[in-house]
Amino acid sequence: MKTLKIVLSLLIVSFFISCTDTPKAEEARTKTTPIIPESSSIKVLNFATFHMGYTSDANTVEFDENNKKNVDSIHQIAKMLSDFKPTVIVVETVPEYNETLQNNYATYLEAPETSFEEPNEVELLAFELGRLAGVKRIYGIDHKMEYNYAIGSEITNEIDSVTHDNYQANPFESIPDQNLLEKGISLHEKLARMNHPKILDFLITINADILTYVGTENGFEGADEAAKYYQRNLRIYSNLNRLKLDANERVFIISGGSHTAFLREFMRRDAKYDMVDTFEYLK
């Protein structure tokens, strides 16, 4: 009987020791091999382009959207980008146009040889990418707002006309190797430059921030115009956030470079989205 009591006592002690050690052992394993939860963020390929059709933009890139060689080059780019395997495409058209946009896209999926009257990057690149990737959903998120980009030439600038005017006269001075208006470069090179981080920063500066150097003696005319452009892009971002997207979506966004630049700033601070490196696909 005494022997049995000793054995039982040893078993009880052993049980409590093992229970006490288990959390420590688990903690040690966690420290050496941390558990990394799977990201629930929506993958986004945020792609900048110049406008391939008519545009009212002050600065434009020369491009003949009806030239077959150009169209073939665009489709090669679309094939590269389709490796992202998007489930949703987002373009720079207003939401009010979505029904027409989706009807045009459906027509293109049925007949890729369809010719559009005034094709731009939506019909030329986004539609082809979507066809190759089997994308069913396409939406526009643009929001139109006018602002006076030329305010610096319309008022007596008392803030710093030298900085503003010198920048406008030679905007690519600090990044000559990324000049978007350089003649003779290929479509691929144009788009590579358009998506370069330095150019994305530049596009915010030239479209908005440089206007903070413009104003009358006690006025903020330039800053107020720049604020309108920020507001437009914030509203574009709100339109993106209106879309019903789950964590498994892969979203391809194509827009003019300055909108891409603003979206980049907003999304990289937003846990909802996880932007991929554009150059993983634009090779």
Helix axes 187-194, 68-82, angle to 10 degrees: 50
Cα atoms found within 13 Å of the Cα of residue 273, Cβ hemisphere only: 22
Cα atoms found within 13 Å of the Cα of residue 163, Cβ hemisphere only: 12
pLDDT score for 40:
75
pLDDT score for 6:
42
Taking alpha carbons only, the member of 262, 283, 259, 264 closest to residue 274 is 264
Check pLDDT > 80 for residue 220.
yes
Confidence grade of residue 15 (pLDDT, cut at 50, 70, 90): very low
Check pLDDT > 50 for residue 141.
yes
Q: Which is more confident, 23 or 130?
A: 130
Query: Do 75 and 123 form a contact (C-beta atoms < 8 A)?
Result: no
Q: Is the pTM of this model over 0.75?
A: yes
| Mean per-residue pLDDT, 22-45 | 58
Cα dist from 102 to 73, 81, 122, 138, 195, whole Å: 24, 20, 11, 6, 27
Query: Do 252 and 88 form a contact (C-beta atoms < 8 A)?
Result: yes
**Tell me: the pLDDT tens digits for 170-184?**
999 999 999 999 999
- CB neighbours (10 Å) of residue 52? 21
pLDDT score for 161:
98
Domain ranges of the chain: 1-36, 39-283
Query: Do 157 and 214 form a contact (C-beta atoms < 8 A)?
Result: yes
| Mean per-residue pLDDT, 236-261 | 98
